[in-house]
C-alpha cells in the first residue's frame, strides 16, 4: 500500500522509528489530507525503517548530531516534527546541543511549521528545583514558527519501570516513589501521540504557535491501581516507595526519573495547565487508561 502521498506538504519526521515519531507518521498516513512524509532514521536497514518503507513512506538516513545531515533532509520541507531521545545518552548538554542544531537547521531551511516534542520549562515553574526544557525556550525565541506538543507520561511505563510486581506472598503491588494521591498525565504514546500532532497541523484553532498537551487523562496513582483492578479482576495494591528503595531498583537513570516523578507530584505533570483545550479538535478518539489496561497482555497476571 502506498500511504505517503506524492502531493501535499512535505513533512519530515525525526524519530520516525520510535514511539512518538512512529505515531506521528501513522496518524498523518491515516489522515484524509495528503502529506509527503519523510521518515528520518540513523539506520534505514533496521526492521522499523523497513516497515515504514513497505508502507510507502520515504525513509532517509540522518543523524541529528550532524548539521549537514539536517540541512540535507530539511531541504524542501514545509513541516518538521522532531523529538530527541535523552534516555539513549542521558547527557543533558548533548540533548540541548542536538535540539538547538535541529531548530537552527529548520530555520535555515525556511520550514513554515516546526513541531517540537518539548517538556514543561520546569526550572521556571519550580524556581530552579528541577531543570529541563531549555530547547523549548530556544525554539520559541528563535523566530521559527514553532508548536510544542508535550507528551504525557507513557502508559507503557506501567509495563516497564512502574509495572506492578508479584510479591513473595503472591500479592500484586504497584510501587512508585510518589504519594497515592499524586496525579500522572497519561498517554498511550505509540497509539495516540500522533493524533495531537495531526491536530496541531490540521485543527482550525491550532497551527504554528500552538502549545498542546498530548494527554488522554490525568489520574492519581490510587485511581490507576483501582481501574487496573476493575478491568483485570486483580487485587493489586499501591505502595509509596521510599526514594532510596526506588533508586536501588531504577538503574542508571534512577536519579533523573525520581526528579521527574517528584516534579509530577509537587507541581503537576504540566505545571498545572488544563489539558481540555488540547482535546478539542482531535480527529480520532484517544485511548483511556482503562482501554490501555484492557488491550495490554499483563505478563504478571499470566
Ligand atoms: N517515557 C515517558 O513517559 C516520556 C514522556 C514524555 C517525554 N518523553 C521523552 O521522549 C523522548 C523519547 O521519545 P520516543 O519515546 O519516541 O523515543 P524512542 O521510541 O526511543 O525512539 C527514539 C527515536 O529517536 C531517533 N534518534 C535517536 N537519536 C538520534 C540521532 N542522533 N539522530 C537521528 N535520530 C535519532 C531514533 O531513530 P533511529 O534509532 O532509527 O536512528 C528513534 O526513532 C525522550 O527524550 C523522553 O524524555 C518520555
Which residues are within 8 A (CB) of 263 and not within 5 positions of it... i.e. 6 or more apart? 122, 126, 129, 130, 269
Query: Is residue 17 in contact with ligand 1, taking CB distance under 6 Å?
Result: yes
| Residue with CA closest to ligand 1 atom 13 | 85
What architecture is the 1-144 domain classified under in CATH? 3-Layer(aba) Sandwich (3.40)
Backbone angles phi, psi at 90, to 5 degrees: 50, 40
> Worst-scoring range by mean pLDDT, 88-97, 137-146, 174-183, 228-237?
88-97
The three cell numbers locating residue 223 = 485511581
CA 109, 113, 114, 117: dihedral to nearest 10 degrees? Answer: -160
Q: Where are the beta strands (DSSP E) in the chain?
A: 10-14, 36-41, 58-61, 79-82, 113-116, 146-151, 153-154, 165-166, 172-176, 183-187, 211-214, 217-220, 237-240
Kindly report, residue by residue over 61-71, the tens digit of the pLDDT. Answer: 999 999 999 99
Pocket test for ligand 1, best of 13, 16, 17, 18 (most atoms within 8 A of CB): 18
Q: How confident is the model at residue 25 (pLDDT cuts 50, 70, 90)?
A: very high
pLDDT at 5: 73
pLDDT at 38: 98
- The length of the chain is 302
Q: Contact at 8 Å (CB) between 142 and 109?
A: no
Q: How confident is the model at residue 95 (pLDDT cuts 50, 70, 90)?
A: confident
Q: How confident is the model at residue 129 (pLDDT cuts 50, 70, 90)?
A: low
Query: Is residue 156 in contact with ligand 1, taking CB distance under 6 Å?
Result: no
Going by C-alpha positions, the residue among 271, 257, 163, 154 that lies closest to residue 215 is 154
Query: Is residue 61 in contact with ligand 1, taking CB distance under 6 Å?
Result: no
CA dist 158 and 66 (Å) reads 34
Query: Is residue 83 in contact with ligand 1, taking CB distance under 6 Å?
Result: yes
The structural domains of the chain, with segments of one domain joined by +, span: 1-144
Q: Contact at 8 Å (CB) between 161 and 178?
A: no
Q: Which residue has the higher pLDDT, 1 or 198?
A: 198
Query: Is residue 99 in contact with ligand 1, taking CB distance under 6 Å?
Result: no
Burial class (CB in 10 A: 0-12, 13-18, 19+), 252: exposed
| Residue with CA closest to ligand 1 atom 38 | 41
| Residue with CA closest to ligand 1 atom 35 | 15
How far is ligand 1, taken at its centre, from the CA of residue 83, in Å? 6
Query: Is residue 50 in contact with ligand 1, taking CB distance under 6 Å?
Result: no
What is the end-to-end Cα distance of the chain in Å, rounded? 37
pLDDT at 1: 38
**DSSP letters spanning 47-83:** HHHHHHHHTT-EEEE--TT-HHHHHHHHTT-SEEEE-
Q: How confident is the model at residue 127 (pLDDT cuts 50, 70, 90)?
A: low
Q: How confident is the model at residue 2 (pLDDT cuts 50, 70, 90)?
A: very low
Q: Contact at 8 Å (CB) between 135 and 150?
A: no
Kindly report, residue by residue over 152-210, the tens digit of the pLDDT. Answer: 999 999 999 999 999 999 999 999 999 999 999 999 999 999 999 999 999 999 999 99
Query: Is residue 157 in contact with ligand 1, taking CB distance under 6 Å?
Result: yes
Going by C-alpha positions, the residue among 16, 72, 80 that lies closest to residue 49 is 16
CA dist 74 and 56 (Å) reads 19
Q: Contact at 8 Å (CB) between 179 and 265?
A: yes
Q: Give the bridge partners for 150, in sequence order.
A: 213
Which residues are within 8 A (CB) of 67 and not within 5 positions of it... i.e. 6 or more apart? 101, 104, 105
pLDDT at 134: 81
Amino acid at each position: 500500500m502506498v500511504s505517503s502521498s506524492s502531493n501535499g506538504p512535505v513533512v519530515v519526521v525525526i524519530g520516525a522509528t520510535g514511539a512518538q515519531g512512529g505515531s506521528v507518521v501513522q496518524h498523518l498516513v491515516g489522515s484524509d489530507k495528503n502529506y509527503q512524509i519523510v521518515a528520518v532514521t540513523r539506520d534505514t536497514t533496521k526492521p522499523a525503517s523497513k516497515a515504514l518503507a513497505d508502507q510507502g513512506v520515504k525513509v532517509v538516513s540522518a543523524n541529528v548530531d550532524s548539521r549537514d545531515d539536517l540541512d540535507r533532509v530539511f531541504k524542501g520541507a514545509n513541516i518538521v516534527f522532531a523529538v530527541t531521545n535523552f534516555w539513549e545518552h542521558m547527557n543533558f548538554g548533548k540533548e540541548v546541543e542536538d535540539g538547538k542544531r535541529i531548530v537552527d537547521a529548520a530555520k535555515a531551511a525556511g520550514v513554515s511549521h516546526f513541531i517540537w516534542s518539548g517538556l514543561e520549562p520546569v526550572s521556571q515553574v519550580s524556581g530552579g528545583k528541577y531543570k529541563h526544557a531549555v530547547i523549548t525556550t530556544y525554539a520559541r525565541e528563535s523566530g521559527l514558527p514553532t508548536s510544542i506538543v508535550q507528551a504525557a507520561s507513557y502508559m507503557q511505563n506501567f509495563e516497564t519501570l512502574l509495572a506492578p510486581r508479584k510479591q513473595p506472598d503472591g500479592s500484586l503491588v504497584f510501587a512508585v516513589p510518589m504519594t497515592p494521591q499524586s496525579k500522572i498525565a497519561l498517554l498511550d504514546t505509540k497509539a495516540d501521540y500522533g493524533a495531537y500532532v495531526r491536530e496541531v497541523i490540521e485543527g482550525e484553532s491550532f497551527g504554528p504557535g500552538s502549545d498542546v498537551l498530548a494527554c488522554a487523562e490525568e489520574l492519581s496513582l490510587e485511581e490507576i491501581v483501582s481501574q487496573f483492578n476493575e478491568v483485570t479482576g486483580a487485587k493489586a495494591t499501591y505502595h509509596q516507595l521510599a526514594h532510596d528503595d526506588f533508586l536501588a531498583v531504577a538503574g542508571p537513570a534512577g536519579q533523573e526519573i525520581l526528579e521527574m516523578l517528584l516534579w509530577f507530584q509537587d507541581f503537576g505533570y504540566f505545571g498545572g495547565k488544563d489539558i481540555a483545550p488540547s482535546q478539542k479538535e482531535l480527529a480520532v478518539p484517544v485511548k483511556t487508561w482503562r482501554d490501555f489496561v484492557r488491550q495490554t497482555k499483563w505478563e504478571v497476571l499470566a
